[in-house]
Amino acid sequence: MKKAILFLFVTFFLILMVSPGVSQAAEKVVKIGGVYPLTGYLSWLGEYYKKAAVLQVDTINKAGGVNGYKLELVVYDDQSSPEEATRATLRLVSKDQVVAVTGTATAPITGAVSSVANKNKIPAVLSSGYDVKADKEPFLFNTAHPTFFAIGRPFMYLKKKNVKGAGLLMPIGSLGEIGITNSNRASQQFGIPIVGEERFDVKAPDVTAQLAKLRGANPGAIFSFTTGEPAALVAKNMAQLKFEVPLVVSHGNATPGFLKLASGLTTNVLVPTGKIMVPDSLSANDPCKALIVNFNKLHMERYGEPANYFSGLLADAVMLIAEGMRIAKSSTDPVKIRDGIEKIKNFPGLGGVYSMSASDHYGTKMEDMVLITIKGGKWVQVQ
């Protein structure tokens, strides 16, 4: 009887020693949050974000984690809504006690998440067209290239091609206003005059009338800062009119969806984007190439599809948070992590080489963007 009791005691003791839940050597975990649109009209983007975040967290953990901690990703669906994004961020901060937040999809949603993050002093490394002003929102960072880069980079290219003038066909509304403001700024910087300006309703079935007016001004390129079906409509109507000048559209079109929409059209569509869209075209000495090639390989192996611009934005957000932890030598203090992110210098990512500062919470340069176009149903880099 005594031997039986002793055997049970030893067995129980051994179980305790090897059980992950009670082991003294249990892994230390730090949580980061994800506020992604997994449902609603932006769900296509949320899926890209979530896939990239999961993959990047796994990659970091397999490499040993950060400062002895493994990362744990906690994701909530913002349902493509600023209001739900606010609630999700509050849950991440209060209930899950994350040390940083990643996301989001649009400027209004980013603004909602940023408000909660700054109030609670939690770094938010987000990825959208939101205009970050570091002095007013010190805990907000943005891995998406600034809108001016996305318009200025094509102007830089057209300057090299000796294009003498550009026409603007912009959507009615705030997005069009942003496009016009930044196009006028780029026009002055690169010495390419705006020779014509037209507007259109993104729900319109045809824009040939506006394009005909612009063609009369003899532009060397058309800029239409719009995304998805409206951008494809402009390209289609230009092809129908045999209006054979380049069409520059928003960097939001660097997706498989737009590739399908625009493939087969004769219009030369130019899309500004990150280098991740053309890993095989990068030079051997590009500081980002090895990272981009490896991430794309892992993305293909896990998901059966290549990474895209939005995948890179979210993966970079996770990497910047991890690097901020390393620099701060802290994985649990959000304020120190924020300070660490701000000190990142010459850090290769999927969207470029990041160098943050107290006044620059983007960290990339215009030259970090490339131009891509469609040939043979595939994205190729414009040289």
Taking only the tens place, the pLDDT of each residue in 242-270 is: 999 999 999 989 988 899 999 989 999 99
Residue 26's pLDDT is 65
User: 368, 274 in Cβ contact below 8 A?
Assistant: yes
Residue with tokens 């294009």: 163
Q: What tokens does 335 get?
A: 């304020």
Q: Which residues is 370 bridged to in the sheet?
A: 273
Q: What three-state secondary structure class fits 79?
A: coil
Q: What three-state secondary structure class fits 370?
A: strand
Peptide bond into 104 cis (omega under 30): yes
Q: pLDDT tens digits for the chain (383 residues)? A: 445 444 444 444 444 444 444 444 468 999 999 999 999 999 999 999 999 999 999 999 999 999 999 999 999 999 999 999 999 999 999 999 999 999 998 999 999 999 999 999 999 999 998 999 999 999 999 999 999 999 999 999 999 999 999 999 999 998 899 999 999 999 999 999 999 999 999 999 999 999 999 999 999 999 999 999 999 999 999 999 999 999 999 998 998 889 999 998 999 999 999 999 999 899 999 999 999 999 999 999 999 999 999 999 999 999 999 999 999 998 899 999 999 999 999 999 999 999 999 999 999 999 999 999 999 889 999 98
Q: What three-state secondary structure class fits 359?
A: coil
Spatial strand order in the sheet of 69-77: 69-77, 28-36, 101-103, 124-126, 140-142
Residue 174's pLDDT is 87
Residue with tokens 């939690």: 122
- Burial of residue 43, with CB atoms counted within 10 A of its CB: 0-12 exposed, 13-18 middle, 19 or more buried: middle
Taking only the tens place, the pLDDT of each residue in 181-221 is: 999 999 999 999 999 999 999 999 999 999 999 999 999 99
Query: What integer best gives the mean pLDDT of the chain?
Result: 92
Q: What three-state secondary structure class fits 278?
A: coil
What's the CATH number of domain 148-273+369-381, 3.40.50.2300, 1.20.1440.120, 3.40.50.9100, 3.40.50.720?
3.40.50.2300
The residues, ordered by sequence, that sit 6+ positions from 46 with a Cβ below 8 Å of its Cβ are 36, 37, 38, 39, 77, 78, 80, 105
Class of domain 28-146+293-368: alpha beta
Sketch the domain layout of the chain as residue ranges: 28-146+293-368, 148-273+369-381
Which of 31, 101, 36 has the alpha carbon at shortest distance from 71? 31
Q: What is the full DSSP assignment across 106-143?
A: SHHHHHHHHHHHHHHT--EEE-SS----TTT-TTEEE-
CA dihedral 222, 108, 313, 325 (to 10 degrees): 150
Q: Can 28-146+293-368 and 148-273+369-381 be said to share one CATH topology? A: yes
Residue with tokens 């449902």: 39
- Burial of residue 263, with CB atoms counted within 10 A of its CB: 0-12 exposed, 13-18 middle, 19 or more buried: middle
The residues, ordered by sequence, that sit 6+ positions from 212 with a Cβ below 8 Å of its Cβ are 241
d(CA 321, CA 276) in angstroms, rounded, equals 20
